[in-house]
């Protein structure tokens, strides 16, 4: 199956360039070859930065009226919609997503966010300051005021991971371009197609040359993007360990950085919760996309009075999961991205057992799968909150049940983590759940399932080792701008 029009090229300054090096991209479900992807050289990455710098410093893009950029970016999104089927096939084949997840979360939600981003970009760029009256040297009074204006920060290096590649590529590129920045996008080597197709879309939509470049490459390519003085902002999603390295690499140039990193988020199940609903929420918290999601709730804090029933209910649900190739109808659980992820998950199963946790379900590679990177959805009970399983991000399908006796303990357990990205509470007492949510140290908390969707105006991001900065909504748009104050007085 042909996925790309330029399968051996990267997109630099509005032109397709071939690369000397290639790297196999495989389907994680059956290990079949999808594409011999281009691997950009250091010189090509630097050329992409130069093109972005030229387009920002000397091009029209940053200075276009917002309405003009809205028109172009709407066209960009319309062209994406015209390639929807191609993109969905890529998401299933390249990222190992089930078709349902691909349609609803990997594609549908980011497109909803993107449309809203384009819409809210028409917010006023100038904000008036209050008038101040100040005695002056002439014996009169100065009538002074000013405005705060938002301007694009400049050249953005956007670095995205393999778990939700299209989602995160769109979530970085659209707001950055919408405010007038220029972008160099670098995807994960595991999932380059969902980035490279955006170059084809940029061509068809008529984006100016140099406004968007897409490069591939190894660790060195990333280092160039995070350390080059011509890059004004690094927008990164990935692990906290890589986040540490990026912060260090950007330090000598005092580069602005927005980072959405790992998570070990807690789902709190109070004694009055609907256990069927709570178990369903918990199931998704460690099995959606095989647990490969930074905001998933993999720590399950359950009131001890209902914990046995909760665990049995959840165990019963796990028995109905259909493991298989996500391209097949009826499959609701696919593979991990690569063998290294399977090995990491298996290692944490051994760690949890050594720490005294009780294996309830799973814990192995499923039988009958000779190809693909599959691992059973795995549930542990009697997990200590200070254990490695509870404190370290597995990025695999393991749920950890931890008991508590009262709300104060639940809050303390939830906060006893180096991470702080998301969280959830299940309770019949919504008011009490809200009070608890206010005290949980994390970037977001959903109560009884939240708003029914990922809200497009809600800022998303974390604290502690889950990173800093926000994505989506007006706050996410503003991350790609800086504030300038212009003051003046009445003549």
Cβ atoms within 10 Å of 438's Cβ, excluding its own: 9
Cα gap 379→348, rounded to integer Å: 12
- 8 Å CB contact between 40 and 10: yes
Query: Half-sphere exposure (CA, 13 Å, Cβ side) for 265?
Result: 31
Query: Half-sphere exposure (CA, 13 Å, Cβ side) for 145?
Result: 10
Cα gap 246→227, rounded to integer Å: 8
Burial (Cβ within 10 Å: 0-12, 13-18, ≥19) of residue 101: buried
From the candidates 260, 376, 471, 479, give the one annotated as an active-site residue: 260
Burial (Cβ within 10 Å: 0-12, 13-18, ≥19) of residue 7: middle
Cα gap 325→206, rounded to integer Å: 37
- 8 Å CB contact between 327 and 99: yes
Residue written as tokens 């280092």? 223
Strand arrangement, sheet containing 423-426:
358-361, 378-381, 398-404, 299-303, 266-269, 423-426, 446-447
Our answer to whether residue 204 is catalytic in this structure is no
The residues, any chain, with a CB within 8 Å of residue 438's CB and separated by 6 or more, are none
- 8 Å CB contact between 249 and 452: no
Which residue numbers are catalytic?
A: 260
């Amino acid at each position: 199956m042909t996925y790309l029009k330029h399968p051996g090229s990267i997109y630099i300054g509005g032109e397709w360039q071939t690369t000397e090096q290639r790297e196999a991209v495989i389907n994680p479900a059956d290990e079949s070859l999808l594409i011999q992807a281009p691997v950009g050289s250091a010189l090509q990455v630097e050329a992409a930065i130069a093109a972005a710098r030229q387009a920002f410093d000397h091009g029209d893009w940053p200075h276009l009226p917002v309405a003009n950029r809205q028109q172009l970016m709407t066209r960009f999104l319309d062209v994406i919609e015209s390639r929807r089927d191609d993109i969905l096939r890529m998401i299933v084949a390249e990222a190992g997503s089930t078709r349902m997840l691909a349609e609803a979360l990997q594609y549908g939600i980011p497109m909803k966010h993107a449309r809203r981003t384009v819409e809210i970009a028409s917010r006023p760029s100038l904000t008036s300051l209050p008038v101040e009256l100040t005695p002056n040297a002439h014996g009169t009074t100065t009538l002074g005021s000013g405005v705060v204006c938002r301007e694009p920060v400049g050249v953005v290096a956007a670095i995205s991971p393999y778990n939700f590649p299209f989602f995160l590529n769109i979530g970085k590129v659209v707001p950055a371009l919408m405010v007038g920045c220029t972008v160099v996008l670098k995807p994960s080597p595991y999932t380059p197609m969902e980035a490279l197709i955006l170059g084809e879309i940029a061509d068809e939509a008529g984006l100016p040359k140099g406004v968007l470049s897409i490069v591939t490459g190894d660790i060195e390519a990333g280092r160039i993007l995070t350390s080059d003085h011509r890059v004004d902002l690094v927008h990164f999603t990935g692990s906290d360990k890589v986040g540490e390295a990026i912060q260090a690499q950007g330090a000598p140039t005092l580069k602005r950085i927005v980072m959405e990193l790992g998570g070990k988020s807690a789902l709190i199940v109070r004694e009055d919760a609907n256990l069927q609903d709570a178990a369903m929420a918990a199931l998704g918290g460690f099995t959606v996309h095989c647990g490969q999601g930074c905001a998933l709730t993999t720590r399950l804090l359950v009131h001890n009075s209902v914990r046995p029933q909760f665990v049995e209910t959840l165990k019963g649900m796990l028995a109905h999961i259909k493991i298989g190739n996500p391209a097949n109808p009826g499959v609701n659980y696919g593979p991990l991205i690569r063998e290294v992820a399977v090995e990491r998950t298996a290692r944490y199963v051994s760690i949890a057992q050594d720490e005294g946790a009780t294996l309830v379900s799973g814990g192995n590679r499923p039988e009958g799968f000779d190809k693909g990177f599959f691992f059973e959805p795995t549930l542990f009970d009697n997990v200590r909150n200070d254990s490695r399983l509870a404190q370290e991000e597995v990025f695999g399908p393991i749920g950890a049940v931890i008991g508590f006796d009262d709300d104060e303990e639940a809050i303390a357990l939830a906060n006893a983590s180096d991470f702080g990205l998301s969280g959830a509470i299940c309770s019949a007492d919504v008011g009490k759940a809200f009070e608890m949510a206010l005290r949980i140290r994390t970037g977001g908390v959903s109560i009884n399932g939240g708003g029914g969707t990922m809200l497009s105006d809600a800022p998303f991001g974390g604290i502690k080792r889950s990173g800093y900065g926000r994505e989506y909504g007006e706050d996410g748009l503003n991350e790609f701008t800086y504030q300038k104050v212009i003051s003046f007085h009445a003549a």
